[in-house]
Amino acid sequence: MKPKMIAIGEALVEIMRPDIGQPMDRPGTFIGPFASGAPAIMAVAAARLGNPVGFIGAVGEDAFGRLLRNRFVDEGIDCAYLQTPAGHATGVAFVSYELDGSREFVFHLRYAAAGAMYPEQLEADYFSEIEWLHISGSTLVLSAACRETCMRALEYTKANGGKFSFDPNLREALLPVAESRQLYAPFLAAADVLLPTVEEAHALTDNADDDTAAKTLLGDGDKIVVLKRGAAGCSVYSSTGCLDVPGFAVEEIDPTGAGDCFNAAFLTAVSYGWSLEKTARFANAAGALAVTKQGPMEGAPTQSEIEKFIENH
């Protein structure tokens, strides 16, 4: 059976400081490796919600690559197009958590396996039953080959009647925002669902007003723009107007992956034909649950866990 939802992009391992306020420019303890990468987290979260999911990416023929491949298999994700380019190690991200709530990243990605995807290895038939293709902007900045592979996947998706969701996932540690805007332009235009954080919407439009930034991204097309607000919830913009949906209060253990779990839940609920309000509440709950466990993928919830969480709140 061909996948109905496909995520394409970087699969990597994450190695992190265990506590807040431990800078990476000094010796100290790390924990990990944890399976990670924004598109990979989204794929796992979508699979746990019952979607037939495929993942397109690249890992090294090494211990970290085995960790990721085994994780995908354990989660029931189709790995037919998980490439292992010769001479490239698996990507790694080192992460520390700052006292002000921000994170600092050190990436080994651009010259790792994650940046060595090639469009020639994709086949149109793999997309024959696709309903959603999901791409993260962090993938586009890795290499020209990654961008070409993503564009090829997008072309196959549209040719087969599928829809496209795009999470900007801006990473200034990989590329300045001004340059990212240029690379993102065709993908922003093609998206059926855009999933930026509020800060990313501001950066992409060079406008600090939430409403103006969202409407600029919305344009005149028939798409949905979701401004993710973390614990505060989200705002959903469409041709019918704007809807603000509050979030859920939880004890945050690890914020990494919350937005990717939100994305998976939002697309899953859209595919069910739910109202935008119900969809956003479902996605907010998924994001809230995601932060309650250490590790980027570990908090990705099942549908029953989300429904139970909502009932109790």
Per-residue pLDDT of 96-115, as tens digits, reads 988 887 888 898 988 999 99
In three-state secondary structure terms, 240 is: coil
On average, the pLDDT of the chain sits at 95
Minimum mean pLDDT among 40-44, 109-113, 160-164, 195-199: which range? 109-113
User: Where are the domains positioned within the chain?
Assistant: 5-311
Q: Do the bridges between strand 12-20 and strand 31-36 make them parallel or antiparallel, or are there none, so unpaired? A: antiparallel
pLDDT of residue 110: 85
pLDDT of residue 210: 96
Looking at 3.40.1190.20, 3.10.20.30, 3.40.50.150, 3.30.1330.10, the CATH number of the domain 5-311 comes to 3.40.1190.20
Is residue 90 over pLDDT 80? yes
Provide the token pair at 129: 């039953």
Q: pTM above the 0.85 mark?
A: yes
Average of pLDDT values for 215-228?
Answer: 94
Helix boundaries (H) for 129-275: 137-140, 144-159, 177-190, 198-205, 210-218, 258-272
Q: What Cα–Cα distance (Å) separates residue 288 from each residue in 137, 166, 310?
A: 22, 21, 11
Percent of residues, the chain, with pLDDT higher than 90:
88
